[in-house]
Chain A
Amino acid sequence: MLFYSFFKTQVGQQVTVELKNDLAIQGVLESVDQFLNIKLRDIHVVDAERYPHMLSIKNCFIRGSVVRYVQLLPSTVDTALLQDAARREAQSTQQMSQTKAAAVQA
């Protein structure tokens, strides 16, 4: 849920999504869901010549599993807060694994 929460703050920002097939799409992040599927609007392909079939496309939906990178603006990210959120996440998963282990032994 950490990155889902993180991407929710990025909604409305300009991002560049690089896919595992080397296609890089720039656009405004419209929505994200728990699987990190991404919806972009007003897209513009980075290397447009190689992908002429994308010329007319304005919006797109990208399945989360095919994303390699998402490039953001650093000014939109609060790194200290992100570190804290990651620590909380780590703590909660630790707790859960502990309870799991306890449940297994019990």
Chain B
Amino acid sequence: MEHRRGGPAAGDFSDAGREAMEDKIRGALETLSQIQVSVANPELADESVLERRIDRLVRSYADMFAMKDRLGVNVPEEVLAHIKDGRNPDEFTSQFMERVASENQFTNGKIAALTNFQREYAAKLHEFFPDEAQSMALYDGTDGQQLGQDQDTFNAETFEADAREIAGSDFDFFGSTARQQQQQQPVQPVQAAPRKVLTLAELEAQLMPQQRQTPGRAPAVARADPETIARRRAERLQKQATLQRYDNLMTQRDKDYIIRIQVSQLLTDDPAADDFYCHMFQLSRGTAAMPGAGQQQQQSAGDSTANVLREALEQRGMQVPGEQAGEQARGRGRRSNTQSSMARMQQQVQRFVNEARRRPKAPQVAVEGALGKISVNSARNPKQVLQVQRGHSGSMSQHQQQPGGDMRHQSPGAYDAGGLFAVPGDTRTPAVERRKTLQSIETAYGAVLRLEQLAREQARLPTNADHPAVQTWLRAYGEARDQAWAALGAGQPIMNVYPHPLARFLAFSKGKRIIPRVAHHLSIDQVLALATTIIANFETLDVCRFGSLSSQTAGAAVSARQREETELFLHAALPPALAFLADASLQIVNGLLALFLERNNVAWVARTRPALVLLTIMLGRTATLKQPSALGSPDERQALYQAAELYNHLFTSLHGGLAAVFQPPALGQPPNPLDDAFAWQFLATLALGASVEQQHSLVAEVRDKVLEAVQIAKSGSLPADVGAAVTANVNLFLNTLGLDASQVTL
């Protein structure tokens, strides 16, 4: 039996009981050794001594047994097992310490993680539920006194569970010690335990490599910031790098080349040439606020270039620099930068235009070695439509003409009524004549357009008359004017051709429309000739011939067209002549009046409105000029005499038909009392120059009409202003006679 003088722990125990026990154990050991000696030498020892020693031993055992309750020492069974096996009990202790250390580390990690979690959770809770945070007991890991009930169980669970894990169910060291400690000191040991664990943990931490030691830090987002920032920047750089690989494939020269091609398709330096409609339209309507118009309108040359440039850029979806910068106003440097870039672009475009003009692109190109020429189509010279020549256009259109020769579809130019007056062998057929007239109208239009273009250019000419540019301009102007005059065909008032070319010219509405524009450029003599011709052939004008068609047979559409033509005539074709008349001398007026009366069947013509208007103006002019002048030169007296003669002639020819001056209302439309204004005006001017007898006869004829008008005005069936207007009209006439509408008694 080997004894281990052991019990190194004996010195550690401060308990008195333990010391006593130690003595007892030592005593027992001595006794045992004595017994061993006596037993080893049986011949020398007495049986009594042996008995005495055995007795002593048993008595020490009994004492130890009695003392055991006073001791507070619990020796683990494993130590005894170690001793039985002959192993060093210290070995057990060292193993145990190792286990404790590792377990402690494990637990410490758990604690740290959970503490962190709790701290963050508490912070978030505090953030979102500030009110409830106070009620909840929050553990922030530093102050153990705030530990709630759950925390205790947390610790207990942790410790108990781990102890069970390591040591099996029979070993319950931790659990028992912890529970004992807890039972003894509920608060303190818990405070002590984490501290103890922590101190051990610190030791372990010093020994073991530090892994994921996280001191209390900021939340996860802030923690990740430098990383994500760096990551994103790296991504961005990488993207840029991949994109930049294909940069600068086109040189600036290539870009200019492409731009030149594209822009030269669109560009025009003279807006009137290619962009006519748009340009003129904007001029006539007053340019609506065009963005960036201010700086560009000043340069007339750059005007169209800038506009086209803007359009071209917009088409390609790019920003127009000048405007956008102007709108956003992002600081001076930027604005001036974009403006200058805009100016640079304009310069570039200008350069392109000049180059393109210097080297005009041939519409055809002949490649070397190819047989023949290839025509290049662009926006300027598009592919032409095939022109098929039809033979004998005259005969074909004649077939078309005859079915349409009745009154309803009477075309303006076909005065020959189906070739009644066409002699065989005569090259003039209605269709040919019509076409000739239309051609002359188009010639007139072309000439007028040229005249207007020249008039626009006149502003840009140099002032001195000797300049060759001025000479050319004058020459061009004169040529165009002559051409227009020739197209009108008003040179000869009376021709042997029926109807007069001018009458045919005026038969078309576009012919009527061109007259004022031409007259603007004609000389006085030419205007006189024009007026003369119109007057001489007045009754052949289509507007007068409308009167011959009774409005009952004609359809509503035709009468509408007639109305339109009449209006157009009165507003467009006649005013130049009237304006001329308004300034003409008495002799000229007399001459024209004489011509009118001679050439036209007055009574018949007087039923048409244009004739009435013309007569009104002429008579009015005569009346104005009839004021006797201080010098009674013989020419003037003669003119006055002539005027009186003419007047009488007119009156007699009108006599009896004056009631017909008032036109019947149009078919299907209610009679408008205001339509007769022109008739009343005519009657008034007629009455101006009338003698007393003529006045009597005048009144007698139109008496019914007057009464009717006054009745309508006074009856009150019309709105007030219309009634007033009707009364005014009647008064026009009556006042010249010295009467008034109020005097009329019904």
Query: How far is it, in angstroms, between the C-alpha of A67 and the C-alpha of B173 when the chains are bound?
Result: 96
Interface string of A1-38 (1 = CB under 8 A from B): 11001101100100000000000000000010110000
Least distance between B479 CB and chain A CB atoms (Å): 15
Contact check, A85 vs B384: say whether CB atoms are below 8 A apart.
no
Question: Which among A33, A80, A103 is the interface contact of B364 at CB below 8 angstroms?
Answer: A103
Least distance between B80 CB and chain A CB atoms (Å): 89
Question: Which among A2, A85, A104 is the interface contact of B280 at CB below 8 angstroms?
Answer: A85
Interface size on A, residues (CB 8 A): 27
B275 at the interface (CB under 8 A from A): yes
Q: Closest A-chain residue to B513, C-beta based?
A: A80
Q: Given contacts A31-B311, A33-B315, are A5 and B274 in contact (CB under 8 A)?
A: yes
Contact check, B277 vs A9: say whether CB atoms are below 8 A apart.
yes
Residues of B within 8 A of A87 (CB): 442, 445-446, 449
Least distance between B678 CB and chain A CB atoms (Å): 26
Interface residues of A in 57-106 (CB under 8 A from B): 78, 80-85, 87-89, 91-92, 96-97, 100, 103-104
Interface size on B, residues (CB 8 A): 30
Interface string of B293-326 (1 = CB under 8 A from A): 0000000000000000001001100000000000
Query: How far is it, in angstroms, between the C-alpha of A78 and the C-alpha of B224 when the chains are bound?
Result: 69
Contact check, B381 vs A5: say whether CB atoms are below 8 A apart.
no
Query: How far is it, in angstroms, between the C-alpha of A82 and the C-alpha of B449 when the chains are bound?
Result: 12
Residues of B within 8 A of A88 (CB): 276, 449
Contact check, B363 vs A82: say whether CB atoms are below 8 A apart.
no
B282 at the interface (CB under 8 A from A): yes
Contact check, A78 vs B311: say whether CB atoms are below 8 A apart.
no
Q: Closest A-chain residue to B510, C-beta based?
A: A83
Residues of A within 8 A of B282 (CB): 9
Least distance between B362 CB and chain A CB atoms (Å): 8
Contact check, B284 vs A81: say whether CB atoms are below 8 A apart.
yes
Query: How far is it, in angstroms, between the C-alpha of A103 and the C-alpha of B513 when the chains are bound?
Result: 38
Interface residues of B in 258-275 (CB under 8 A from A): 265-266, 273-275
Interface residues of B in 499-520 (CB under 8 A from A): 510, 513
Interface residues of B in 331-383 (CB under 8 A from A): 363-364, 373, 379-381
Residues of B within 8 A of A8 (CB): 275, 278, 311
Question: Which among A2, A31, A81, A89 is the interface contact of B281 at CB below 8 angstroms?
Answer: A81
Residues of A within 8 A of B442 (CB): 87
Q: Closest B-chain residue to A91, C-beta based?
A: B446
Question: Which among B275, B277, B279, B381 is the interface contact of A82 at CB below 8 angstroms?
Answer: B277
Question: Which among A9, A34, A100 is the interface contact of B265 at CB below 8 angstroms?
Answer: A34
Contact check, B277 vs A81: say whether CB atoms are below 8 A apart.
yes
Residues of B within 8 A of A1 (CB): 274-275, 379-380
Contact check, A103 vs B363: say whether CB atoms are below 8 A apart.
yes
Contact check, A5 vs B284: say whether CB atoms are below 8 A apart.
no
Residues of B within 8 A of A100 (CB): 363-364, 381
Q: Closest A-chain residue to B280, C-beta based?
A: A81
Least distance between B277 CB and chain A CB atoms (Å): 4
Q: Closest B-chain residue to A6, C-beta based?
A: B277
Query: How far is it, in angstroms, between the C-alpha of A88 and the C-alpha of B315 when the chains are bound?
Result: 27
Query: How far is it, in angstroms, between the C-alpha of A96 and the C-alpha of B513 when the chains are bound?
Result: 28
Query: How far is it, in angstroms, between the C-alpha of A78 and the C-alpha of B380 when the chains are bound?
Result: 24
Contact check, A34 vs B266: say whether CB atoms are below 8 A apart.
yes
Residues of A within 8 A of B364 (CB): 100, 103-104
Least distance between A76 CB and chain B CB atoms (Å): 9
Residues of B within 8 A of A80 (CB): 513
Least distance between A54 CB and chain B CB atoms (Å): 22
Residues of B within 8 A of A9 (CB): 277-278, 281-282
Contact check, A2 vs B446: say whether CB atoms are below 8 A apart.
no
When A and B form their complex, which 9 residue pairs have the shortest distance between CB atoms, in order from nearest? Answer: A85-B277, A5-B278, A5-B277, A8-B278, A85-B276, A9-B281, A5-B275, A1-B274, A6-B277
Which A residues contact B (CB, under 8 angstroms)? 1-2, 5-6, 8-9, 12, 31, 33-34, 78, 80-85, 87-89, 91-92, 96-97, 100, 103-104
In the complex, besides A12-B288, A87-B442, 15 extra interface pairs with C-beta distance below 8 angstroms are: A2-B276, A2-B277, A8-B278, A9-B277, A9-B278, A33-B311, A34-B266, A81-B277, A81-B280, A83-B510, A84-B276, A85-B280, A88-B449, A100-B381, A103-B363
24 CB < 8 A contacts A-B: A1-B379, A5-B278, A6-B277, A8-B278, A9-B277, A9-B282, A12-B288, A31-B311, A31-B315, A34-B265, A34-B266, A34-B379, A81-B280, A81-B281, A81-B284, A84-B280, A85-B280, A87-B442, A87-B445, A97-B384, A100-B364, A103-B363, A103-B364, A104-B364
